[in-house]
């Protein structure tokens, strides 16, 4: 049995912040941001929260699958911005959508989070423990970036994407390659904002910090490698893959990966121009938008890949 995606959904906050808007906050320009990243705009949460966006995306995924929340057995939210240290965002989404019988928990693997959730769901399904899962990537990164740091705040956005998966005897997840490298954790991190106690005294506020060039090198090296491993595991050639759905971090990273895999850039769909980098949400948002547009057809071979803080990475090959 494999985990097979049956329905998808996505949600972006209403407020669209284009690059010119950001230039009113920090010393930057539309030209710099577009040339270095490919990003034109991102959506920022106002009244929306990670949980409200996750719930909206999840309900759309269930509706597209023709399933009820009450049927969901496993509910995983991939997020680093759940809004509460405890309980998990997943438990709060569970309450909001009424997935009463689900086992609900979060996974913290940053931009690889959705791949990690898919990895776990497939393992639970293969073991026979659960027959279905609702997987959500949801983030409000705008709440953890330093809005005075132009080198990071221009990159990120908010949103949520969801996929409902079921056990299937055919198709679905064919192979995957997932990994972590904790020794590089400081390359991209956000220290907790809590942490003060009577002994430690006040702790500095934590914001997202990043060594951009290290992350760039890591992504360009690791993503083609783990996609290659997943392709090999599935017995699929790169040219047989219809689309490569990658974490939407940066246009130049996607172009470099396409080049290394010797595949045309047209096979790497993008929404980062409108969404920025939404971390764990980026892959499921992209997938759900393509699904909604009718681009994904049953039987298509797809390769998915995520990479980010941890450092973490993952790739899988699936038959839609």
Task: Please give the positions annotated as active site.
Answer: 111, 247, 277
User: By CB neighbour count within 10 A (0-12 exposed, 13-18 middle, 19+ buried), where does 182 fall?
Assistant: exposed
Query: How many other CB atoms are there within 10 angstroms of residue 126's CB atom?
Result: 13
- Name the residue nearer to ligand COA (CB basis): 186 or 240: 186
Nearest approach in angstroms of CB 199 to ligand COA is 34
Nearest approach in angstroms of CB 306 to ligand COA is 8
# chain residues binding ligand COA, by CB under 6 A: 19
Coil, strand, or helix at residue 208?
A: strand
Upper half-sphere CA count for residue 273 (Cβ side, 13 Å): 6
Nearest approach in angstroms of CB 61 to ligand COA is 24
* 110 vs 137: CA distance, rounded Å: 10
* 24 vs 275: CA distance, rounded Å: 19
Q: Are strands 188-190 and 208-210 parallel, antiparallel or unpaired?
A: antiparallel
List binders of ligand COA among 258-277 (CB under 6 A).
Answer: 277
Nearest approach in angstroms of CB 141 to ligand COA is 10
- Name the residue nearer to ligand COA (CB basis): 8 or 250: 250
- Name the residue nearer to ligand COA (CB basis): 49 or 277: 277
- Name the residue nearer to ligand COA (CB basis): 9 or 306: 306
Contacts of 198 (CB under 8 A, 6+ apart): none
Site string for ligand COA, 37-56 (x = CB under 6 A): x-------------------
Asked whether position 36 contacts ligand COA by CB under 6 A, the answer is: yes
Query: What are the DSSP E strand ranges found in 70-224?
Result: 74-78, 103-107, 132-140, 158-168, 172-180, 188-190, 208-210
- Name the residue nearer to ligand COA (CB basis): 61 or 160: 160
Contacts of 185 (CB under 8 A, 6+ apart): 309, 310, 311
Asked whether position 150 contacts ligand COA by CB under 6 A, the answer is: yes
Rounded to 5, what percent of the chain is helix, strand, coil?
Answer: 40, 25, 35
Site string for ligand COA, 110-149 (x = CB under 6 A): -x--------------------------------------
Site string for ligand COA, 239-258 (x = CB under 6 A): ----------xx--x-----
Q: Which residues contribute to the site for ligand COA (CB under 6 A)? A: 28, 32-33, 36-37, 111, 150-151, 154, 210, 212-213, 215-216, 249-250, 253, 277, 308
């Amino acid at each position: 049995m494999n985990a097979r995606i049956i329905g998808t959904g996505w949600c972006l906050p209403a407020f669209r912040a284009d690059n010119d808007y950001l230039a009113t906050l920090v010393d930057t320009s539309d030209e710099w941001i577009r040339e270095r990243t490919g990003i034109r705009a991102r959506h920022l949460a106002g009244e929306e929260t990670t949980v409200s966006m996750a719930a909206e995306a999840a309900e759309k995924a269930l509706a597209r699958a023709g399933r009820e929340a009450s049927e969901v057995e496993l509910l995983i939210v991939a997020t680093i911005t759940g809004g509460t240290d405890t309980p998990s965002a997943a438990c709060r989404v569970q309450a909001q959508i009424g997935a009463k019988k689900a086992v609900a928990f979060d996974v913290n693997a940053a931009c690889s989070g959705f791949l990690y959730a898919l990895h776990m769901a497939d393992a639970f399904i293969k073991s026979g423990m659960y027959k279905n899962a609702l997987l959500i990537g949801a983030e409000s990164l705008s709440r953890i970036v330093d809005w005075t740091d132009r080198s990071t705040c221009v990159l990120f956005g908010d949103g949520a994407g969801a996929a409902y998966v079921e056990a299937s005897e055919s198709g679905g997840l064919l192979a995957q390659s997932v990994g972590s490298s904790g020794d590089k954790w400081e390359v991209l991190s956000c220290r907790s904002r809590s942490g003060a106690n009577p002994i430690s005294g006040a702790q500095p506020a934590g914001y997202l910090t990043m060594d951009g060039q290290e992350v760039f090198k890591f992504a360009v090296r690791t993503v083609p490698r783990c996609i290659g491993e997943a392709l090999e595991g599935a017995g699929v050639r790169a040219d047989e893959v219809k689309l490569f759905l990658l974490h939407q971090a940066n246009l130049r990273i996607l172009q470099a990966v396409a080049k290394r895999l010797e595949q045309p850039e047209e096979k790497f769909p993008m929404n980062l121009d409108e969404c920025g980098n939404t971390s764990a949400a980026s892959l499921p948002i992209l997938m759900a938008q393509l699904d909604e547009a009718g681009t994904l057809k049953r039987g298509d071979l797809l390769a998915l890949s995520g990479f980010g803080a941890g450092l973490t990475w993952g790739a899988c090959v699936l038959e839609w």
